[in-house]
Amino acid sequence: MDYAGLLASLREQIDARLAELLPPPEHAGDLMGAALHEGVLAPGKRIRPLLMLLVGRSLGHRSAALLDLACAVEMVHAASLFLDDMPCMDNARLRRGRPAVHARFGEDVAMLGAVALVTQACAIAASAPGLHGELRAQLVRVLCQAMGLQGLVRGQYRDLREGAAERHCEEISSTNQQKTGSLFSAGFEMAALAAGADDATRRALRTAALELGQAFQLRDDMEDSLKTTATLGKDCNKDAGKSTLVAVLGPEAAERRLAGHLAEAQSQLCRALPDDEAMVAWVRSAFAISPRPGRQAMDAGREFQGGLRPRGLRAEPAPACSAASGPRPAG
C-alpha cells in the first residue's frame, strides 16, 4: 500500500471508530445525539488522530488502544470547535463547509455537546483496552492538562481577552501554544506513552509537537486573510483587528517563520522516528501553506526571521532522516 493509501485507510478507521464511540441519538428528535454526530463526523482532515496513529506505527505500536486514544483527542478538538464558533467567542456560522453546531442546533446544544464530548473523551482514555491502570491514569492526566487552564481553556480566554491588544511575538506564541499546540503536544505524548517510547524519543516528539502547533496556528492565521469562505469551509477574516503573528510580522515574515517551525519539526521527527521518512515528508506537506496568488510558497531552507534563529541566519533544510538523525540522544 502506498502512503496515500495508508492515510486513506487510517482516516477510514478513525471515522468508523468515532461513529462507534459516539453515543447514538436516542430517537429521531434527539438534537444532542444528532449534533454530536454531525459536529464530530463532518468531513475533516483528522490531522491530530492521524499524527497519533502514524507516530505509533513508526514506534512499532498498532493497537486498538491507540486508535481509541486518537479518537478521544479528535473528540476534544471537536468540542473546542463547538465552543469557539459560538457568538460569545469567535461568532462563526460555518465550519467544515456546514453550518456551525450552534447555528444548526442551538447554543444550548453546542455548549452541552462540548461537555459531552470532553467527558466521553476522558472516559475513552480511562478505559483504553490492553493498558494497565497506571498508564491509563497518566493518559487521562495528559488529556485533561491539554484541555484545562494550562491548555485550550486558557489559550482561548487569552485570545478572546488579549487578542485585540498590542502584544509581543512571545505573548502571541504562548497563546498559540495553549489554544492550538497543547492538543498536538498531548497527542504526541499519548502516542509515545502507549507505545512505551524511551525518554529521548519522547523529548524529541514534544519539541516536534510544539513546532507543529505553532506552524498550524500560523498557517490558519495566514489562510484566514488569504482564502475565501468557500475554499476554507469556514468563516474568513475573523482575525481582523487581532494581534496575530501575521498582523505583527507581516505575511512574508510570517511565512518565513512558518517555514522555520516546519524545518525544526522535521528535524525533531527525524530524531524521534529515524526510519520513517515518509511520515516526516507527509507532515511537512500537510502543514505547509499553499502559495499565495502570483508567487511560489517559500521553501523551508530559505531565510526566515522571528522564528527559531536570530534574524539574518539561515535555516538549513533538514536532510533526509536516514542521513540526518544518527543515533538517538542518550536519555
In a domain, 329, yes or no: no
| Contacts for 125 with CB less than 8 Å, ≥ 6 apart | 68, 69, 72, 136, 139, 140, 143, 190
| Contacts for 233 with CB less than 8 Å, ≥ 6 apart | 94, 95, 96, 97, 98
What does the pLDDT profile of the chain (331 residues) look like in tens digits?
A: 688 999 999 999 999 999 999 988 899 899 999 999 999 999 999 999 999 999 999 999 999 999 999 999 999 999 999 999 999 999 999 998 899 999 999 999 999 999 999 999 999 999 999 999 999 999 999 999 999 998 999 999 999 999 888 899 999 999 999 999 999 999 999 999 999 999 999 999 999 999 999 999 999 888 876 655 555 566 666 667 788 899 899 989 999 999 999 999 999 999 999 989 999 889 988 887 765 544 444 443 333 233 333 223 333 444 455 444 443 433 3
- Count structural domains, the chain: 1
CATH value at residue 248: 1.10.600.10
Domain that holds residue 184: 3-324
In a domain, 228, yes or no: yes
In a domain, 16, yes or no: yes
In a domain, 83, yes or no: yes
In DSSP terms, which residues pair with 95 in a beta bridge?
A: 98
In a domain, 331, yes or no: no
In a domain, 235, yes or no: yes
In a domain, 197, yes or no: yes
3-state secondary structure at position 325: coil
Residue 21 to residue 259: CA distance in whole angstroms:
37
- The model's pTM: 0.86
In a domain, 107, yes or no: yes
